[in-house]
Amino acid sequence: MATRPVEDNARRSAAAPFVGPQDVAGKNWAGEVPPPGEYPYTRGIHREMYRKRIWTMRQFAGFGSADQTNQRFKYLLEHGQTGLSTAFDLPTLMGRDSDDPLALGEVGRCGVAISSLDDMRRLFDGIALDQVSTSMTINAPAAILLAFYIAVAQERGIGADQLRGTLQNDILKEFHAQNEYVFPPRPSVKLVIDTIEYGAQHMPLWNTVSISGYHIREAGASAVEEMAFTLADGMCYTEESLARGLDVDEFAKRLSFFFDVHNDFFEEIAKFRAARRIWARTMRHKYQAQHERSWWLRCHAQTAGVTLTEQQPLNNVVRVAYQAMAAVLGGTQSLHTNSMDETLALPTEQAVKVALRTQQILAHETNVTQVADPLGGSWFIEKLTDEVEREADAIFREIDALGGVIPAIEQGYFRRRIAETAMRQNNAFDNGEAVVVGVNKFVDDDYVRVPILKIDPAVEKQQVARLAQMKKDRDVKRHGAALAALDRAARDGENLMPHLIAGAQAGATVGEMMNTMANVFGRYDGGPEW
Amino acid sequence: MNSMSELPIRILLAKIGLDGHDRGVKVLARSFRDAGFDVIYTGLWQTAQSSMLAALQEDIDVVGVSLLSAAHLTVMPEVLRWRKELGIEDVPVVLGGIVPEDEHQQLLDMGCAAVFNPGSPVTEIIATMKRLAEQRRRMSAAEAIRGYDDHQDTALAQLLTHIARGQLDGTWTPPAGKARIIGVTGAPGVGKSSFIGRLGKGLCARGHRVAVVAVDPSSPVHGGALLGDRLRMMWGEPEENFFIRSLSSGKVYGGLGPRCAEIVQAFSGYGFDYVLVESVGAGQSDTAIHDIVERTLLLLMPESGDAIQFSKAGIMEIADAFVINKCDLAGADATVGQLKSALEGDRPVFRASTVLNEGIDAVVDWITQ
Ligand SMILES: Nc1nc2c(ncn2[C@@H]2O[C@H](COP(=O)(O)OP(=O)(O)OP(=O)(O)O)[C@@H](O)[C@H]2O)c(=O)[nH]1
Ligand SMILES: [Mg+2]
């Protein structure tokens, strides 16, 4: 199918030099943009917004071994942070153990390496799991890492119902964009629904899925595509959960979202506003949710990694500041600001601090927190919000015409469309139509290079050795029985969460449990979809 | 070498390791195609070994490795080691990735032909690829024939290029081989390549040597092509006795590329036991494959409506057997039923799922009987 690229904001606004009341004539103000805190929440989900509570400043971190990250966690907790955010290394993200041949050179590099329950124990050693909120950025093996977390808590006498936190667990965007999938789309989604069901029954404080547009955008999608694909994914999880027999109000309030904030300032703000409106209407009318909380689109935002440049890295501080402001004017619930040196490697401590200070300046010096949705009622913002919504609707219709999100994945729709947009952006950059300061305009070679953090290769050796020891020490019979039970349950289509927890307790590793499931579900090779 | 211009430059784009960031590599692949190159993309999660093996088999002019995980100082030495091991040191390797400035020289000294960063202009990359391709020293036809006779895979690979370019027309014929030649055809996206990958591995597992000729369409506008079949066939562990060659169709109609028959014969003469041929996603009348193979398998998939649509078409007539692929999807039974009732005679109908690796053995049995 030929894809027609979404009109981007630049072209959209090229139509007129300014916007006036005639552009929003006939608008249903009371129905579409009622005060903040009122359905359909175009202006935000809370009436008082940041006056009552500043957004959460959540900086994502994790590196090296479980012990190193544990030290870091404790340091953060001592300094008043209450939420922990865990980044895993690439092998763990791909459901492979640290000793897997493909893990070579990657162990502990971009996050912490967790292969077994033992690693998870050490990661949270001495941390009160009933008091912290933990977010885990993991997808294909998310159910296994959640099982590890639950098992560690159980050992300490803490029930699953006391655990608070968020699991990213959004496999659909992996198929669209980030490529960290393992099984084919259908069984992958089935596994997500297993966690949603388990969460609805046992974990009332846990956010089971963080439906993410961030990676879709970073892969090259436009703002509208990012938002529409993400909401379509949310609808897909909702429908699959309903098909499982769950009640919409049982799980909908535990769904949250995660968006990118790019450079196009007003378009980004409009994106957040339109997303809230679409989601509220869909949950209320299409899926018949009764509780107000089920209608809310709660989200986390992160500034756009792709906009950072290696050249003149100090410029990135400025980009991040504008993007952060757009996220806040858009009404986000939490925010991560990127560090200026992230194009090259993990950020240095100095750079991380500047990124956090950027948020603090925004929160405490600029006074943008004074009123909710300060741009509401601007002719331009309202018109743009309507346009973004309309274009998103067109995308929903395309997806429906293909039979829904999963069939659209199977037909390559998302990947093709993202590749198309990425190509268009790249051409615009190449021919100078899209300016990147310091790269294709205002270039100079006389700039300060920021220092780069390097990871000690010894981490990999130690981790591999520890894993070998753990495998030697475990009870072979119990381990074999647990994997056999998992295999059987996967074949019978049962909810796998209890079996993954049992597997964790029997010393089964991430890689072993993934393999057991892959034998039943198959492995997916995705495809390029140019 | 003027004859270089006769067929497109062949580029391999490889993603090695677990990093899944493929935005850059995909943009490049398209830009390369639009620049008139034939581009083979390995897909994700490759190893240094599988990438270099692909470069050998495909007779690649320049390899581009894309690494965004910052593991280049671990991975590139491996790549270059395999390049040497496999005897293809004539093939230049360039790296694209997030490489700190102070490491560029280190990589060049190691043997990389060029290093690009995410901000490098595509036009500059294309120019470099062209220059490197033109500088590459390839075997003469005579050298390649000698090597072929000595059973060197590198020579086989280069000989196939000479054949495809027509440089051996009328001057060389391969020794008579005893390969059995099997065609696989079917609508675009039905799973031909994935199926051939499984079939090939199934045949290898029984001790056979298997070659594949996989044809993908060229862009009518730019002349370049994105050759995507290999990616579907060869993922996971590389298989020693499994040789895949991707071809672009050029302006040849009928579902095959230029001198496809001669290439098949060269594989046979080299000693392969089976040669599997994938045609361009076939329309109903793309029946050229029938003329060069011994048996043709037609792939269909559930609920595609193909069964009925194809029942009157020429392509149904040339099939010796049918495979309903993607049987993991709903509607397989209905499609099998429809097909059986539309068929006269007793041509076999197999059910398979390449994702689940099911139903392949029965087809291997039928082919080898
Ligand atoms: N569900 C399912 N999907 C499959 C199966 N086999 C292949 N696919 C998917 O179908 C798509 C096309 O597969 P290919 O093997 O490239 O098909 P092809 O017929 O070679 O395609 P062209 O060469 O482009 O004509 C890919 O997304 C595969 O992952 C299967 O058995 N089940
Ligand atoms: Mg194919």
Domain membership of residue B96 (yes or no) is yes
Which has the closest alpha carbon to A99: A461, A385, A366?
A: A461
Q: Residue A165, class by beta-carbon neighbours within 10 Å (0-12 exposed, 13-18 middle, 19+ buried)?
A: buried
Interface mutation vs chain A, best among B15, B16, B19, B23, most A CBs within 10 Å: B23
Q: Which whole-number Å values give the CA distances from A152 to A119, A264, A456, in the listed order?
A: 10, 44, 28
Overall domain count for chain B: 3
B187 and B116 together in one domain: no
Which residues on neighbouring strands pair with residue A302, listed in sequence order? A260, A336
Domain membership of residue A92 (yes or no) is no
End-to-end Cα spacing for chain B: 47
Domain membership of residue A69 (yes or no) is no
B144 and B79 together in one domain: no
Taking the centre of ligand 1 as the mean of its atom positions, its distance from the CA of residue B36, in whole angstroms, is 26
Give residues whose Cβ lies within 5 Å of ion ligand 2. B 192-193, 229
Q: How many Å apart are CA A113 and CA A97, to the nearest integer?
A: 8
B98 and B239 together in one domain: no
* DSSP letter, residue A161: G
Which residues on neighbouring strands pair with residue A135, listed in sequence order? A85, A166
Q: How many Å apart are CA A257 and CA A332, to the nearest integer?
A: 10
Query: What's the whole-model pTM score?
Result: 0.88
Contact B330 CB / ligand 1 (< 6 Å): no
B44 and B159 together in one domain: no
Whole domain around residue B147: which residue ranges? 139-173
B81 and B202 together in one domain: no
Contact B200 CB / ligand 1 (< 6 Å): no
Domain membership of residue A46 (yes or no) is no
B148 and B58 together in one domain: no
Nearest atom of ligand 1 to the alpha carbon of B188: 25
B336 and B357 together in one domain: yes
Q: How far B110 CA sits from the closest chain A CA (Å)?
A: 18
B155 and B243 together in one domain: no
Sorting pLDDT into bands at 50, 70 and 90, what band is A105?
confident
What CATH number corresponds to the domain at position A203? 3.20.20.240
Q: Which residue of B has its CA nearest to A345?
A: B70
Domain membership of residue B84 (yes or no) is yes
A chain contacts of residue B69, beta-carbon cutoff 8 Å: 90, 105-106, 109-110
Is ipTM beyond 0.90?
no
A463, A65 in Cβ contact below 8 A?
Answer: yes
Whole domain around residue A275: which residue ranges? 10-36+131-430
Residue B26 and residue A439: Cβ atoms within 8 Å?
no
Q: How many Å apart are CA A336 and CA A85, to the nearest integer?
A: 11
B62 and B103 together in one domain: yes
Phi-psi region of B96 (alpha: psi -120 to 50; beta: other; left: phi over 0): beta
Please name the residue ranges forming H helices in A124-210: 142-155, 172-173, 185-202
Taking the centre of ligand 2 as the mean of its atom positions, its distance from the CA of residue B103, in whole angstroms, is 39
Q: pLDDT digit string (tens) for A13-25?
A: 556 889 999 999 9
B192 and B337 together in one domain: yes
Q: Which of B23, B26, B356 has its CB closest to that of A522?
A: B356
Domain membership of residue A283 (yes or no) is yes
Q: Can you tell me the mean pLDDT for A42-66?
A: 87
Q: Which residue of B has its CA nearest to A179?
A: B20
Q: Which of B27, B121, B123 has its CB closest to that of A422?
A: B27
Residue tagged 């040339």 (tokens) = B318
Q: How many Å apart are CA B96 and CA B368, to the nearest integer?
A: 44
Overall domain count for chain A: 1
pLDDT at residue number A491 = 97
CA quadruple A440, A441, A446, A452: dihedral sign: negative
Domain membership of residue A493 (yes or no) is no
What CATH number corresponds to the domain at position B202? 3.40.50.300
Q: How many Å apart are CA B135 and CA A289, to the nearest integer?
A: 66
B146 and B222 together in one domain: no
Which has the closest alpha carbon to A144: A525, A529, A518, A459?
A: A518
What CATH number corresponds to the domain at position B105? 3.40.50.280
What does pLDDT average to over chain A? 91
Residue A3 has pLDDT above 50, yes or no: no
Task: Write the residue with the smallest CA distance to atom 9 of ligand 1.
Answer: B191
Taking the centre of ligand 1 as the mean of its atom positions, its distance from the CA of residue A233, in whole angstroms, is 23
Task: Write the residue with the smallest CA distance to atom 1 of ligand 1.
Answer: B326
Beta-carbon contacts of A473 under 8 Å, excluding residues fewer than 6 positions away, are none
Residue A177 has pLDDT above 90, yes or no: yes
In order along its 369 residues, chain B shows pLDDT tens digits of 334 437 899 999 999 988 888 888 988 999 999 999 999 998 888 889 999 999 999 999 999 999 887 788 888 999 999 999 999 999 999 999 888 888 899 999 999 999 998 778 899 999 999 999 999 999 999 999 999 999 999 999 999 999 999 999 999 999 999 999 999 999 888 999 999 999 999 999 999 999 999 999 888 888 899 998 998 897 667 788 999 999 998 877 677 878 999 999 999 999 999 999 998 876 655 677 888 899 999 999 987 665 556 555 677 888 999 999 999 888 888 888 888 888 877 899 999 999 888 999 999 999 998
Sorting pLDDT into bands at 50, 70 and 90, what band is A342?
confident
Please provide residue A522's backbone torsions phi and psi, each rounded to the nearest 5 degrees: 90, 165
Which of B118, B153, B173 terminates a domain? The answer is B173
